[in-house]
Structure formats: structure tokens, C-alpha cells
């Protein structure tokens, strides 16, 4: 049998689905990925806006569509970030009962934004 090689994904990576170690709270990971992706998207949208408005001096329907998509992505990201502050990424038993209503509302909002705007 071949050796599987080094674990490239760190101590959290596991192939077992039964209670993986050190995965009590993935909220910080979700927060980091969401923040970095929306920041990167903002950088690219701003770069295109600067090039279209500042250099070409002409905008089209595609620019407005991109801006609308970016706004939806921002609202989606904000609802996910709020969800991570309320317990998104934690096991259900570890979520504070006082945060459950806010978490469920956040889950509803990002589900609507994610599924409603494919």
C-alpha cells in the first residue's frame, strides 16, 4: 500500500467523518474566508469601475449588473459574518441559547441571498 504522504491541510484535516479532532468552532475559519473573498471581490470590482469610469469614460449594462451582483455578495457576506458572531460554525450544543434567534435569522438571510440569486 502506498504511503498517503504528509498532511498538507494541517491538524484539522481528516478523512474520518466521526467526530474529527479540534473542530469545535469553525466560525473563525468561516469569518476569515468570507472576509478575504469579499475583500478580493471588492478589489476587482473597484479596479473595473476605475478603469471603466476613469479611463474609458463609458459604462454599460454589464457594469451595473456587476455592481448589483457585488452588492448582493456584500449583503451575503455580512449576513454570514453576523452568523459567525452568533454561533455559525459551532456545534449546536455549543451555541448560546441567547444567540439562537439571531443565528437562525442570519441563516435565513444568507440562505435566501445564496439560493435566491444563483
* 57-98 residue pLDDT tens: 999 999 999 999 999 999 999 999 999 999 999 998 889 999
Residue 6 inside a domain? The answer is no
Grid coordinates of 80? 454570514
pLDDT at position 114 is: 87
pLDDT at position 21 is: 55
Q: What is the mean pLDDT of the chain?
A: 85
- Distance from C-alpha of 24 to C-alpha of 12, rounded to nearest angstrom: 10
pLDDT at position 10 is: 53
Residue 94 inside a domain? The answer is yes
pTM to 2 decimals? 0.74
H or E stretch including 32?
helix 27-49
Residue 4 inside a domain? The answer is no
Grid coordinates of 42? 471588492
Residue range 6-29: mean pLDDT, rounded = 63
Residue 14 inside a domain? The answer is no
Reported confidence tier of residue 115, pLDDT bands at 50, 70, 90: confident
Residue 117 has pLDDT above 90, yes or no: no
Supply angle C-alpha 49, 51, 54, rounded to 5: 90
Residue range 8-16: mean pLDDT, rounded = 52
The domain in which residue 67 lies consists of: 27-116
Amino acid at each position: 500500500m502506498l504511503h498517503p504522504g504528509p498532511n498538507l491541510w494541517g491538524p484539522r484535516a481528516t478523512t474520518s467523518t466521526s467526530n474529527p479532532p479540534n473542530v469545535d468552532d469553525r466560525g473563525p475559519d468561516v469569518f476569515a474566508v468570507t472576509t478575504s473573498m469579499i475583500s478580493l471581490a471588492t478589489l476587482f470590482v473597484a479596479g473595473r469601475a476605475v478603469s471603466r469610469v476613469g479611463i474609458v469614460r463609458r459604462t454599460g449594462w454589464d457594469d451595473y449588473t456587476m455592481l448589483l451582483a457585488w452588492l448582493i455578495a456584500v449583503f451575503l457576506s455580512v449576513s454570514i459574518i453576523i452568523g459567525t458572531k452568533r454561533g455559525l460554525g459551532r456545534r449546536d450544543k455549543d451555541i448560546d441559547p441567547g444567540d439562537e434567534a439571531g443565528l437562525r435569522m442570519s441563516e435565513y438571510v444568507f440562505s435566501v441571498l445564496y439560493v435566491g440569486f444563483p
